[in-house]
């Protein structure tokens, strides 16, 4: 048997995230604006995903980093002890082979919202195929709070 998600769609997606934090202690850490909500496989079972620092593809990989997400959990890491070029705040990281299970394994733990999904075509054009979640999406299935339930109904009409 073949697990079709990884086989068919895995190689054809990427997670693009921005380096927003850095920590220099006994190790070098780079914190990203994405987290396990967006790609759970590395946090769940240590899955390897190649990472490219956009714009620095030809620079030497002479720095060792842990690339972390923004959850308050110690396993929210995209890479551990990974050799990469110098990463500075604002750099974009391209996490390869993320085309399977990103959205379907995603969750809203710790108040995180799922990101948008964009389809890149062979001709270089792109199209939004799933919008990013918004705070109102957290509450859209609640029926227990009468006041908020009414606000949602009004918002859906407008």
Token pair for 80? 């551990």
pLDDT at 103: 79
| Residue tagged 């202690």 (tokens) | 25
32 is known as an active-site residue: no
Q: What is the mean pLDDT of residues 103-127?
A: 87
* pLDDT surpassing 70 at residue 45: yes
pLDDT tens sequence across 130-148: 999 998 888 888 777 666 5
Question: Looking at 3-7, 88-92, 104-108, 150-154, which range is the least confident one?
Answer: 150-154
Among 58, 35, 39, 61, smallest CA distance to 48 is for 39
Distance CA 90, CA 99 (A): 24
CATH number of 4-113: 2.40.37.10
* pLDDT surpassing 90 at residue 20: yes
The residues spanned by each domain of the chain are 4-113, 116-158
Distance CA 100, CA 8 (A): 8
With a CB cutoff of 8 Å and minimum separation 6, the contacts of 17 are 32, 33, 34, 38, 78, 92, 93, 95
pLDDT at 109: 87
Q: What is the mean pLDDT of residues 107-111?
A: 86
Q: What is the average pLDDT value for the chain, to the nearest integer?
A: 88
pLDDT at 153: 60
Which residue among 35, 61, 72, 144 is the active-site one?
Answer: 72
**DSSP string covering 78-105:** EEEEEEES---TT-EEEE-S--SSTTTT
Q: Are strands 51-53 and 92-95 parallel, antiparallel or unpaired?
A: antiparallel
Q: Are strands 92-95 and 15-24 parallel, antiparallel or unpaired?
A: antiparallel
Instruction: Return left, alpha or beta for 134; rule: phi > 0 is left, psi -120 to 50 is alpha, else beta.
Output: beta
pLDDT tens sequence across 58-108: 999 999 999 999 998 999 999 999 999 999 999 999 999 888 877 778 888
In angstroms, the Cα distances linking 35 to 2, 39, 78 are 27, 7, 8
């Amino acid at each position: 048997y073949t697990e079709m998600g990884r086989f068919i769609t895995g190689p054809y997606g990427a997670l693009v995230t921005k380096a927003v934090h850095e920590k220099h202690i006994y190790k070098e850490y780079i914190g990203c604006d994405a987290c396990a909500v967006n790609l759970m496989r590395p946090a769940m079972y240590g899955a390897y995903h190649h990472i490219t620092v956009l714009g620095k593809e030809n620079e030497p990989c002479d720095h060792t980093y842990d690339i972390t997400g923004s959850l308050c959990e110690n396993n929210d890491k995209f890479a551990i002890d990974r050799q990469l070029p110098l990463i500075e705040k604002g750099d974009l990281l391209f996490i390869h082979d993320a085309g399977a299970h990103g959205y379907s394994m995603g969750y809203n733990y710790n108040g995180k919202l799922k990101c948008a999904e964009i389809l890149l075509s062979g001709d270089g054009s792109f199209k939004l195929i799933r919008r990013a979640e918004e705070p109102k999406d957290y509450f859209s299935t609640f029926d227990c709070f009468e006041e908020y339930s009414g606000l949602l109904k009004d918002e859906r009409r407008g």
